[in-house]
Amino acid sequence: MKSTRLRTRARAAVAAAGAAVLLTACGSYGVDPGADADTGTVTYWLWESAQLPAYQECATDFEAQNPDIDIRIEQFGWDDYWNKLFTGFVASSAPDVFANHTSRYGEFAERGLIVPIDEQVAASGIDLQQYVPGTTELWIGPDGKRYGLPKDFDTVGLFYNAGMAEEAGITAEQMANLTWNPQDGGTYEDVIARLTVDENGVRGDEPGFDRSRVRTYGLGLGSAGAPFGQVEWSYLAMTTGWWYMDREAWGTEFNYDDPRFQQTYAWWRGLIDKGYMPPLAFTEGGSPDQQVQAGRYAIVSEGSWQTANYGALEGVDLALAPTPVGPSGRRAAMQNSLADSISTSSQVKGAAWEWAAHLASEACQSKVAQAGVVMPAVASTVETAKEALGRRGFDVSAFTDQIDAGTTFPYPSILQAAEVQSITASTMEGVMAFNADVDALTPMNEQLNALFR
């Protein structure tokens, strides 16, 4: 889950650069082993403000059950969160427990900054089978040890303006059965073109369409999708048989030079050239949900964690559809899961573990489910979450059905994530801005591979 996506290219580059510098610094400072106290104050950080009330409820319950432990929760926006965290690692003042992301924790684990919890999980008798399939594996680090218990999960789908679709003669059944290929885009491109409307009211599939004066784009754009295209293009590329690296996780050879990926990326970029998707520069004018609210985007490919945000949009009749069926004959959607990690420098690691275990328990996750802001990872709470999210006007089965059907794939776990982000962002943004051709992804791939040699 990006949960909070970096909304601008500049912010993404700054965050990646800061991460690279600070992680290098972490390596030179060594690791404070901390202490294992079972009581005291546990500091807990998270970045998602919408989830804060639910986790505060969890903290209240936890403190009632554990009167010798106090939980102090702090919430920061995405950029500030990671910058403060990296600084905290350098100064041995990181929070005791913090919400972690699959794109980050590998480097933390490699540098000894977070605690492996295999022994604690075994001693506590925690049943890993209680979690949604595919979530627990995401938290096995490059050393084969576990660094977190899943607290939620997410997949990707298509939010679309149902009113615009009805006006264009597109049914919900059509949206639920879209197909795609990198040659002509399949029925997915047909629908995108149909929903694109220029300033004169001419649709993208009609004679006289003016691609230079578009009122509503059929498909929205949030970023160039570096490095993994979680909500941008991954659900397309993965239906071609392509994969990011030489291994499912912790790979050292990348595959961005594969023709299957470059054909996918070329098709996606081609939507801009046709006027069906906005230029990359357009993304500086507002986030995708804001553009949907303004009627500028008819469809956006988004993560399930954005359901509450889209459900809160006023005056827009939105619906949800699954990702299209690709050349493989199957759909695809990236599946991710956040977890909470314990800092090695914590002076209260015993108490920190009790809190982390509570966060991943059915007791806490049921409260998160009832809040209707995200789908918790404990499988028994999923129906509650679906009902709560459904009250926002969406049938979220477009997200959960892919897990049941086995058409999800894991968020790619990598080392040197900051460097990978920086390299891919620079090249992919150049390609999407038409400052470079798609074949620029080949030398980019070589740069990535050189990181691991």
Distance CA 29, CA 37 (A): 24
For 158-215, the pLDDT digits (tens) are 999 999 999 999 999 999 999 999 999 999 999 999 999 999 999 999 999 999 999 9
Q: How far is 305 from 82, CA to CA, in rounded Å?
A: 19
Torsion of the alpha carbons at 359, 364, 369 and 375, rounded to the nearest 10: 20
pLDDT in tens, 254-302: 999 999 999 999 999 999 999 999 999 999 888 999 999 999 999 999 9
- Determine how many CB atoms are found less than 10 A away from the CB of residue 272: 20
The one-letter code for the residue type at 375 is M
The two counts, helices (H) then strands (E), for the chain are: 18, 13
d(CA 37, CA 141): 25
Instruction: Output the six-digit token pair for 377.
Output: 């990872």
Q: Once rounded to an integer, what is the mean pLDDT over residues 380-394?
A: 89
Task: For residues 102 and 279, give the distance between their C-alpha atoms in angstroms, rounded to a whole number.
Answer: 30
Question: Would you list the domain boundaries of the chain?
Answer: 9-154+336-377, 156-334+414-450
Mean pLDDT (the chain) is 92
What 3-state class would DSSP assign to 255? coil
Separation between Cα atoms, residue 281 and residue 432, nearest integer Å: 9
Q: Residue 340's pLDDT band (boundaries 50, 70, 90)?
A: very high
Peptide bond into 227 cis (omega under 30): yes
Contact indicator for 212, 231 with CB cutoff of 8 Å = no
Question: What percentage of residues in the chain have a pLDDT greater than 90?
Answer: 87
Question: For domain 9-154+336-377, is the CATH number 3.60.15.10?
Answer: no
d(C-alpha 76, C-alpha 256), whole Å: 33
Amino acid, single-letter form, for residue 387: E
Nearest one of 409, 105, 47 to 228, comparing CA atoms:
409
Residues 97-120 pLDDT 10s: 999 999 999 999 999 999 999 999
- Residue 322, φ and ψ in degrees, nearest 5: -75, 165
For 272-311, give the DSSP string.
HHHTSS--GGGGGG--HHHHHHTTSEEEEEEEGGGHHHHH
Q: What is the sign of the dihedral through the CA atoms of 436, 438, 443 and 445? A: positive
- So what CATH class is 156-334+414-450? alpha beta
Widest distance between CA atoms in the chain: 72
pTM, full prediction: 0.92
Cα→Cα distances 226→16, 118, 152, 230, Å: 11, 32, 23, 9
Residue type present at position 201: G
